Amino acid sequence: MSVMVVRKKVTRKWEKLPGRNTFCCDGRVMMARQKGIFYLTLFLILGTCTLFFAFECRYLAVQLSPAIPVFAAMLFLFSMATLLRTSFSDPGVIPRALPDEAAFIEMEIEATNGAVPQGQRPPPRIKNFQINNQIVKLKYCYTCKIFRPPRASHCSICDNCVERFDHHCPWVGNCVGKRNYRYFYLFILSLSLLTIYVFAFNIVYVALKSLKIGFLETLKETPGTVLEVLICFFTLWSVVGLTGFHTFLVALNQTTNEDIKGSWTGKNRVQNPYSHGNIVKNCCEVLCGPLPPSVLDRRGILPLEESASRPPSTQETSSSLLPQSPVLTEYLSSNEMPDTSTPEQMPPPVHPEPPQEVAEAEK
């Protein structure tokens, strides 16, 4: 008598997560769907460095020093490691509200604002919050059904709210946020050094060869070197300029999104409440501070009932995929917000309170 063993298919949570992301390696790798420019980035780095190691490095190691290819290899490996770490990681996606929480918020909004006359625009859904004696507005996200934590923003490309959202970078194929910004900065910094290094030693290689066979003959015999020089020349300005811009932002503890919107340099001249007023402290917080874990349980297993049924909407999907909203409480009670008391001179907010877990963090 034969016994048949039926294996039930395990459904991971990443297979049903809302948002426009792609996952690989059973949910371990998380990227945006648009990855064409990311592949171009890999091709340019790998192609240029392959030509450099194959032709110029051998000649320069003999004529000048064997340390030249060693240092180039270190820069190359570090650049690739930080690029892949930036591209394949969760940038800090914030879970969407559960259906019960979203319904509670909508009910509170209707109870507070009352019936809005037809044709009249409803008031904005904003919550006032105090950080280091500065009033910061918590904006409501109509897609994720949550009051976004400070410095968070909704990425229209990935369709997710990202904590400490900086920007969406197509060159790395991912959003840049709180969990991968330091790796993004280290990537562009090391790539700038690598580009300058390869460009400089290509010029040295051409100069040494020109002393023996002439400049024009050298260009004819080394078309790969000419290609490397052209790629490095046109890449150098953008990469070095981008590195300088982000160094400026790191020194001020500011994000690209805040700089573009002029959040702290507008007409009101509101000071940045997240800056420590010291460049060293700002750099240490951004680049060396504790890295929060991902709140998306991407590799978690869905219950059988939930995995068997296909969710009809994004809102219903999030109820079985994402953690409960206490994680938002962690956002609002983090070190970025040491003072959460509302100023006495301000009138009470007109807009509704967020769910109970978020309200507890404000106390």
- pLDDT, one tens digit for every residue, the chain (363 residues): 455 555 567 777 777 788 888 888 888 889 998 889 999 999 999 999 999 999 999 999 998 999 999 999 999 999 999 999 999 999 999 988 888 888 887 777 776 666 666 666 666 677 777 788 778 888 888 888 888 899 999 999 999 999 999 999 999 999 999 999 999 999 999 999 999 999 999 999 999 988 888 888 888 888 889 999 999 999 999 999 999 999 999 999 999 999 998 877 755 567 888 988 899 999 999 999 888 888 887 777 777 655 544 444 443 333 334 343 444 555 445 544 444 333 333 344 344 444 444 344 343
pLDDT for 341: 38
The residue assigned the tokens 């995929």 is 321
Phi, psi of 329, deg, nearest 5: -60, -40
The answer to whether 162 touches 153, Cβ cutoff 8 Å, is yes
> Which stretches does DSSP call E strand in the chain?
21-24, 29-32, 126-131, 134-141, 146-147, 153-155, 160-162, 167-169, 174-176
pLDDT for 228: 92
49 is catalytic: no
What does DSSP assign to residue 345? T
Q: How far apart are CA 3 and CA 75, in angstroms?
A: 58
- Does this model's pTM top 0.85? My answer is no
pLDDT for 126: 77
Q: How far apart are CA 255 and CA 248, in angstroms?
A: 10
**Residues with Cβ within 8 Å of residue 339, at least 6 apart in sequence:** 130, 131, 132, 133
Q: How far apart are CA 189 and CA 193, in angstroms?
A: 7
- 3 state SS of 250: helix
Six-digit token string for 197: 């290094």
Q: How far apart are CA 315 and CA 102, in angstroms?
A: 9
Residue spans of the domains in the chain: they are 13-94+167-288, 99-148
pLDDT for 348: 40
Q: How far apart are CA 170 and CA 339, in angstroms?
A: 36
The residue annotated as part of the active site, out of 141, 144, 158, 169, is: 169
**Residues with Cβ within 8 Å of residue 211, at least 6 apart in sequence:** none
pLDDT for 51: 93
pLDDT for 193: 96
